[in-house]
Amino acid sequence: MAILKKHLLAAVMSCSVLTSAAEPSDLPSSASSKPPNFIVILTDDQGYADVGFNGSQDIATPNIDRIADEGTRFTNGYVTFSVCGPSRAGLLTGRYQDRFGFGRNPVIDPADPRAGLPVSEKMISEVLQPVGYTSAIIGKWHMGAHLVFHPNKRGFEYFYGFLSGGHRYFPEELTVDSIDEAVKENAWYRTKIMQNNQRIDIDEYLTDELSNEAVSFIEREQDNPFFLYLAYNAPHTPLQATSEYLKRNRHIRDKNRRTYAAMITAVDDGVGRVLDTLEQLDIDDNTLVFFLSDNGGSRKNASKNAPLRGNKGEYFEGGIHVPFAVSWPGVIPSGVDYHHPVSSLDIMATLASLADAPISEERPLDGVNLIPYITGKYSGLPHEVLFWRGFDQGTLAMRQGDLKVMHSRKYGDHLYDLKMDPGEKNNLVEENKAMFSRKKQQMEAWAEELIDPVIRPLRVNKKEKG
Q: 142, 150, 321, 383: which is the annotated catalytic residue?
A: 142
Is the sign of the CA dihedral 441, 445, 446, 447 positive or negative? positive
State which H helix or E strand residue 11 sits in: helix 2-13
Question: Considering only CA atoms, which of 427, 420, 423, 384 is closest in space to residue 405?
Answer: 427
- How many other C-beta atoms can be found within 10 angstroms of the C-beta atom of residue 135? 26
- How many other C-beta atoms can be found within 10 angstroms of the C-beta atom of residue 423? 16
**Which CA distances in Å does 421 have to 73, 289, 386, 402, 428?**
21, 31, 18, 9, 11
Cα–Cα distance, 395 to 241 (Å, whole number)? 36
Beta bridge partners of 160: 138, 195
Helix ranges (H only) for 225-383 are 243-247, 255-280, 317-320, 345-354, 371-374
* 3-class SS shares of the chain: helix, strand, coil, % to 5: 35, 15, 50
Coil, strand or helix: which one is 388? Answer: strand
Active site residue 142: yes
Q: 84, 236, 383, 414: which is the annotated catalytic residue?
A: 84
Which DSSP string corresponds to 264-307?
HHHHHHHHHHHHHHHHHTT-GGGEEEEEEESSPPPTTTT---TT
Active site residue 84: yes
What is the total residue count of the chain?
Answer: 466
Strand segments, DSSP code E, in 44-190 are 72-74, 77-78, 134-140, 158-162
Which DSSP string corresponds to 154-214?
TT-SEEEEESSS----SGGG--B--HHHHHHHT-GGGBPEEETTEEE---S-HHHHHHHHH
- How many other C-beta atoms can be found within 10 angstroms of the C-beta atom of residue 391? 17
Q: What is the DSSP letter of 230?
A: E
Q: Are 286 and 279 in contact (CB under 8 A)?
A: no
Cα–Cα distance, 416 to 405 (Å, whole number)? 7
Q: Parallel, antiparallel, or unpaired for β 77-78 and 403-408? A: unpaired
**Backbone φ, ψ for residue 342 (5° rounding):** -130, 170
Instruction: Just list the catalytic residues.
Output: 84, 142
